[in-house]
Amino acid sequence: MTAPFPTRKQEEWRYADLDALRPVWQQFAEPLTLTVGPGESFEKIWLPGDEDVLVRRVQIALEGGAKAQIFVLNAASEYGRTELDVSLAEGADFELFGANIGTGVSTNEIVTNVRHVGEGGRSRQTIRSVLNGKATGSYLGKVEVARGAQKTDAEQSVKAMLLDRGATANCKPELEIFADDVKCAHGASVGELDAMQLFYAESRGLDPASARALLLEGFVMGLWDSAKDADAIGEAAREALRKVVG
């Protein structure tokens, strides 16, 4: 049976491009599921494709002491969505490093539900968005800490850079905590390029377009530092940034 088509009344679809989703919904209605066994490690790098609409819906179960690292670059020309539902058993560790790089009228979003079920789990979500034109980039990130998940350590860091007045960033970190001995931090900021950084770079000889490109590269590229092989995603991010900086 196919899941019903989402509506904007559902929080996790609030900023989605449902018109772009409709024709492809059938193939994404059921999320992929994967399990990382006790003590095992999993790393995944998701690159943007050639498709105008690229949707990923994945459920990950991290068993005791399992570790997962996900690196994702959302840069679809029309609609890109990366949706993750992650459950962490005791001592599991989850890290997400994601970027939305959008141009034109595109919508790119990262939607997560990270559920700390067991004790002593750790999660880190770091999201950076760079948007120009009338592009929209969103992060909706929910962290749930179950009653028994004491000593949970969760962090969300979300920053967006808007290059044009018409661009939109939505940042919504959300916490739902039912344990009393946990550490959950979140921070969000939306801004423009720093004028003093731009002047410093230009005074050293970079023309304005190159200075902007370099500063934006710095803003995004730090995301891939801990990937085993960041060449492909780094190159894809550079290419996406080139389109955004124009």
Residues in the chain: 246
* Interface segment toward other proteins; rule CB under 8 A; list 46-54, 56-64, 87-95, 198-206: 198-206
146 SS3 class: coil
- Distance between CA atoms of residues 214 and 205, nearest Å: 12
- Distance between CA atoms of residues 102 and 135, nearest Å: 6
Scanning residues 199 to 238, which ones bind other proteins (CB under 8 A)?
A: 199-208, 210-211, 214-215, 217-222
- Distance between CA atoms of residues 97 and 220, nearest Å: 10
Among 1, 4, 165, 196, binds other proteins (CB under 8 A): 196
**Cβ closest to other proteins, residue 140 vs residue 201:** 201
Q: Does 97 bind other proteins (CB under 8 A)?
A: no
CA distances from 21 to 14, 29, 84, 112 (A): 13, 10, 17, 18
**Cβ closest to other proteins, residue 50 vs residue 225:** 225
**Cβ closest to other proteins, residue 222 vs residue 246:** 222
Q: Quick one: 138 exposed, middle or buried, by C-beta within 10 A (0-12, 13-18, 19+)?
A: buried
Scanning residues 44 to 63, which ones bind other proteins (CB under 8 A)?
A: none
**Cβ closest to other proteins, residue 23 vs residue 205:** 205
Q: Does 178 bind other proteins (CB under 8 A)?
A: no
**Angle, to 10 degrees, between the axis of helix 208-221 and the axis of helix 231-245?**
140
Q: Does 189 bind other proteins (CB under 8 A)?
A: no
Size of the site for other proteins (CB under 8 A): 23
Q: In what order do the strands lie in the sheet with 168-177?
A: 32-36, 53-62, 79-88, 107-116, 136-145, 168-177
Q: Does 38 bind other proteins (CB under 8 A)?
A: no
Among 59, 126, 168, 197, binds other proteins (CB under 8 A): 197
* Interface segment toward other proteins; rule CB under 8 A; list 24-32, 65-73, 184-192, 197-205: 197-205
Residues at the contact surface with other proteins, assessed by CB under 8 A: 195-197, 199-208, 210-211, 214-215, 217-222
